Structure 1
Amino acid sequence: MVASLTSRQRFLALHLLAREEFETVAALSAGFRVSPRTIRYDLKLLEGWFGEWGLELERRPRRGVILRGGRSERERAEIHLDTPEPRIVPLTKEERIRSITLFLLVQSDGLTVDQLARELDISRGTVLRDLDVVQKQLVVHGVVVERIPGRGLYTRSSEFHWRQAAAVLLTDMRQDGEYRSLPLQSGSDPFSGWPTEAMMREFEETLSRWGSPLVQALSGSALQVLAVYLALMVVRLKAGKWIEKAKKEPDDVKPLPEYAEALRLSHHLEERFCIDVPESETVHLTLRLLGAQRFQVLRTEIGENDPSVGRVVDGIIRVVSDMLQMPLERDKELQEGLSVHLKPALIRLRFGFFIKNPLLKEVRSRYPRIYAASQKAAFWVERVTGHSVPPSEIGYIAMHIGAAVWRFTATKPTVRRVLLVCASGVGTAKLLESHLRRELSGVVWTGVSTAAKAKEEAERHQVDFVISTLPLDDSFPDLPVHFISPVPTWEEIQILREKLLFVRRPERVPPISRLMALIDEHAHIRNRKGLEKRLTEWMGNHFSMPSPEVSSFSTGRMDCDPMLDQLLKSEHLCLQQSCSDWKEAVNTGARPLLERGMIERSYVEQIVRNMIEHGAYMVIAPGIALLHARPEDGVNAVCMSLLTLDEGVSFGHEANDPVDVVITFATLDNNMHLTALSQLMELLSDEQRLERLREAKTSPEAQRVIQPFLP
C-alpha cells in the first residue's frame, strides 16, 4: 500500500504521526502549500492506510484531525514510511504536461486520473487542468484523447499521427535534457520500448556522415528531427506497427532524389537492425525528406495539385505589402527566402507534417502586426492550396516578413509632398484622391488641381512630386511626374508606391533652374554648367534626407509614441463582459473609443468587413484578438481599448478560438502605437499575468497586472 502513496501523502502521514494535538485542514493546507480540497482527499486516503497499521484518524468539527493509536503501531508505520525515500518528480507545468503526454502515448490499455496524480505527485484537479492542455496539443497532431467513464483515458490515432506526436515530444525533451530523466513515484519507466538515447545519437552521427548533398543541405534542427523519427521508425517496426499508404500520397515520388535517399536509409535500417521496411514506410520517409527544413533547395516542387511556389510567394508578399503599406515586392531577398522556406513547407501542409517553431511565442509578442499580416497571408494560402496553415508555419513566414520590414525601414524612405492633377470632373478627382490617400498613407497630399493651374499650385505648396491622370507638357522640368489612370489597378498603385518611397528627391528644395535664374539677376555667371553641377552636388549632400518628424517609417521611438498606460486608461477597460458573437465583441471593444470620439463608426465597420472578407487573421494567439483597420478608415487619435469576456466567443479561427481577450487599437501612422502594443503583447505572452488579467473584475485590478510591463 505504501508504494501507492505520493511524496506529499508520505510527509503528511509522518507529520500526523509526530503530532499529539488536533490540527485543522486550513493549517495543513497552509503548511503543505496545497488547497484544502487536496488535503481532504489525502486524509481520506490515509485514513484507510493508517487503519492497516492499527491506527485511527479521528476528525472533529471545528477542531481538525488527530491520529489515535499505540506507540508501537506508530513506530512501525513510521519506519515503513521512511523507506524508501520519496523520489523527486516533475513539478513545473511544462514537465507535468510532457509527462502526461508521454503516459497517454505509451499506455495502450488506458490509465486513470488517479494513476497520473500518484505518479506525478499532484492533485486530481491539477491533472484535469493539465489534461485539457494536453488534449489540445495532441489533437493538432491527429491524436484524440478519449475520457471513458469508469475505464479511464485512452488515445485514438493512426500510426502516422502517433509517430508525429511522439517525435515532437521526444525532440523537445532531448533538446531540454529531459529524455529518460523522469523519476516517478512508482519507479516505473514510461520509456520502456521507446528509442534509447544511444540509438538516437547513433542516427545523428550516421546522418552527419551521410554522403549525400540532399541530406547535408538540411538544417541542424531538421537533422535532429530526422534522427528521432528514424529511431521511432525502428522500434515501431520491431513492435509490428507500420504506416499504411495514404490516399493522398503521390505516385510520382520514385523518380525524385529524395526517394533514392529514403531507399538508401531503409536498406541501412534493414541491415543494422534486422527489420523489414515496407514500401509504404520508404515512401513516407521520402515525404519527410521533401518536407524537411533546409538552407538551400535542390529540387522543384512535386504534384500537380499544388500551385507553383512562385505564385504562393507572390501572393503572400502582395497580401502583406497591402496590409503593412510597404512595397515589399521589390525585396529580392524576401522572395528568395520565402521560396526556400515554402518549397518544403507546401509539402508539409499537403501531407500534414508538423514542424515546431521555438520562436513562435516571441514573434507573436514582439511583432504582433507583422504576425497578423502573415496570418492574413496564410489564410490566402489556405484558400489557394486547400491545406490549413498552422501557427508554427505562420511564425516562420512572419520571421521572413519581419526581416524584410527591417531592411525596408533601414532605407529611410522619404515622405513626399504630392500634388494630384486630374482632367476629370470633381467627383472623379475626389474619388481618385480618396483612393490614393488610402493606399499611400506615408504621403503628404497638398490637394487636387487642374492641368491649367498645376504649375501655380505646385509652386504655392512646394510640392516635390506630381501625379497626373493626363500627360503633361514640360511644365515641371525639375519635378518627377507620374502618370496614372483615373481608376488605377493594384499594379499601378505598387509602381507608384515604389517611386514615391524610393526615388530620392530633396524635400522642399527649390529647383536648380530657379536658383540659376536668381543668381543671374544679381551676378554674371562665367561657367553656367559648372555652377549647375556644383549646386546639384551641394544640395544633394545637404537636403537629401527627410526630417525625422515626417518619416512615417522611422524605427526609433518618437515623442508621439505613447506608452501602454497612456492608452489603456481605466475608462478604456471593459472587463468580464458578455457577448453573444464576434461582431458584438468587436462593437463592445470599440465602444469606449467611439464614445470619446477617438475613432469613427466607419473604423469599426471596416474591422467587421475585413474579418468577413479575409477571415479571422486578427486572432493572433489562443484566445486573443488584435482588432484594427487603417488610419484612413476613421482614426482621430492614437488609442487602445481592452475587452475581456466572461465566456469566449468564436471568431472563426480553427486553432485560436474561443476568444476572450479583445484588443482594439487605432493609430494615425505606422509607428505611433508600437511601444504600447509591444508592451501589451509582452504582457499577454506571460501565461500567469494573462490569467490574472482574464480574472480581473475591476479597472484597478487590471492596471496592477499591466504596471510591471512598463519601463
Structure 2
Amino acid sequence: MFDHKSLQLLTQMVNYPKLSIPELRLQLNLSPRQFEYTLNKLNDGLIELDLPKIEVIEMGFKIDERVKKHWKNEELSLGRKQLVFQENERLYLIYLYTYIRREPISIVHYQSLLQVSRNTALADVKKLRALCQGEGVKLDYNRTDGFKLEGEERHKRRFASVCIGTLSQLPMGRPGIKQVMDSWKYEDASTTIKQQLTDMAHEYQVVFVGNRLDQLIYELLFLQFRYGRNALFLPVKQTELIQQQPLFLMGKKLSAYLFNEAHEMEIVYLTIQLLSATQGVPHIYPSEELSYVSDEIIREVERLTLVPFKEKPILQSILYKHLVPAYFRIMCEVPLSNPLIDTIKAEHDALFKLVKQALKPLSDFTGEWISDEEVGYFTILFGGHVRRLEPEPKVYRATIVCPNGISSSMMLRTQLCQLFPGVHFTESHSVAELKQISPDSYDMIFSTIYLESSKPVYLTRPLLTVLEEDYLQQAVAADFDLPVPSAVPIDELMATIRKHATIKSEKALYTDLTNHLRQMRSIERSHSPMLSELLTVDKIRFTDAPLDWKEAIQLAAKPLEEQNYITPDYTQAMINRVLEIGAFIHVGKGIAIPHARPEQGVQKLGMSLLRVKKPVLLLDQPEHAIDMFICLAAIDNKLHLKALTELTSFLVNDDSLNRLKEATTADEIIAMMQKKGDDKK
C-alpha cells in the first residue's frame, strides 16, 4: 500500500540513485525504524504491481530498471486500495469530488473515496468548510441533496483551481485526482485536451509554461465534467479587458471544442486561463504601458538593491515574458500556487522584501495587491541576476531543461553556476527546443524532468537542498574531471560520531558538517553582515565645509579608500555613474547612496557615511539636495542586502531618520544601528 511517505521515498530513490541510506533518511527526516517501515510499505506496493522490490545493499540501495521505467512514464497504476492520503490531500480531493458530483453525496461517499473512518471523514468535512468559507464558497448539506457547493460559480472554480494546483505538486496528488474522476466514472480525456492545446498553441504562436499547462489540462477536464450546472458571471472590468485581447479568438475555439458551443462568458473565462498559463510574448499583449512598468520594476530593483544589472536587455525581455501572465492573473483573480514560497522567504528574505517594494509600479498599474506567491516568483527571477560577479571559467558546457517557467529555470541556473564554477551554462530550454539543438553544443544536461539523451542527464529540482547539491556534485564529478569540495564521506563521518556521542538532530548535524567541509558552499549561505557590522565608527565622518557633489562623494568614500576597501578608481566610477545616469543615487529625504560595480575597484565589503551641514546639490539640481552620503562597496550582489534592508527601515521611518540626521557623533549613530539590530533579533 502506497502512502505519502513511501511515494516520497520512491521519488528520492529514482531521482538520486547514488544517495546513501543515511542521506535518504535525513532527506525525508526519518528515523532508522521509520525508514524501515516506509521501505517495507513501498516494497509491498511494488509487489502488488508485480514489480521487483528495492534492495538495500550495505549503506546504499538498488532499484530495478522496470520500477524506474514505470515511474518515469507515470505508468505506476495505483489501485484505490493502495492509496493512503494525508489530511491536506483529503480536503482538496473531497472538494473536487463534490465539485463534479453526479448524484447526492453522503458522508459514506467520502469514506469510500478516501478509505477512511466516518469520524475522520466528518473531521475533514469540518476543516474543508472553514477553507471554503475563506474562498467565498459554502459546503452545504441537506438530506435531499446531500453535500453540495453554494456560492458564485467563479468562486467555486477559483477554489477548484487552488485544489488542482496544490494537489499537482504533492506526491499523492495526481493519483488522487484520477481517483476522483474514476469514482464518478468520468472518462480521462487529459491526453486529447493536451493535444488540442498543443495544436492551438502552434496555431496562435504561444508557449505554455510546463507546470502551468499540466494544471490547466486538469482544470479544463473538470470544467467539462461540470459545465452547464450553474451560470457563470464575471466582473465587467475583467470581461472588457479580456474581450480586447488577441487570444480571445483562441478562447472561443477552445470553448467550442470543450462545450460544443461558444458562450461569451465561458470564452472570457477560458481566455483568462490561457493568458495566465502562457509565457508573455509581444503579440499576446502588445502593451507599451506594461513594457514601461517592466522597465520601472527593473529600475526599482536596481535602486533598492544597489545592484546595477549587467545584460539589462536580456533581463527586460525575460521580465516582460513573466509579467504578462502575472498581469492577467492579478487582474482576473487567478490563484497562483508557489510551493517554493516558504523556502524563498527563509533563504532569500532580504531580497524578497526588497523585490516586494520594487513591485509597486505593477501594483499601481493594476490597482491590485500583489500576493506573496507572485512576489516569490519575481524574487526567483531577479535572484537569477543578483548573483556573484566573478568570472566563470568555461571548461565544460551544460544546458538546463526546466519546463516549469522562466523564474524556476533562472533560480536553478544560478545555483548550478555556483555549484559548478568550471562549467559554462547555456540558456535554459524546453524539451521541444532541446530536440532542435545539436548534442555537440553541450556536454551535460541538468533537467527537472526525465528525458533521453546521448549525453549525461542529471535530475534536479528548481530549488536544491544541501543534500541534493552534494549529490549533484558527487554525480557530476564521477563523470567529468571536476573538483569535489570535500573528499570526506559525510555518512561515514556521521556513523563515527554516532558511535561516540548522542546526536540531538542528525539532519542539523549533517547540514552543519556539509557546510563546514564545503566552506559554506555558496554565497547564498554565507554570512550576511548586519548594518552595525559594516558601518563602524572609523567609517563615519561629519563636515561643516561647503562642498560640491563630486567633492562630497570623494570625502564620503575616503575612509574606504584609506582602509583599502576600495581603490580610487571605484570612487571615480561612482562619480561617473551619476554623470552617465543622473541623480539615481538620491533615494529620497536628502539621502544619497553612491555605488558602482564591484569589479570597478572593490576589494572587500564595506560602507561609509558622510554627514554634511550644508546640503549638497547633486548635479547642481535644487530638487536633489543631499545632507547625508552613504557609500557602498559591494563585493557581490548579495552580501550587502541584509544591511541594506536595515538601512531602508531607517530611511522610511521619519522618527529614526530625524534622529540619524540629528546625531553629532559617530558613537550616537553606531548606538542607533546596534539598537536596531537588537530589536530585529
TM-score range, shorter chain: 0.3 to 0.5
Scaled by the length of structure 2, the TM-score of the pair is: 0.47
Greater length-normalized contact order (CA 8 Å, ≥ 6 residues apart): 2
- Structure exhibiting the larger radius of gyration computed from Cα positions: 1
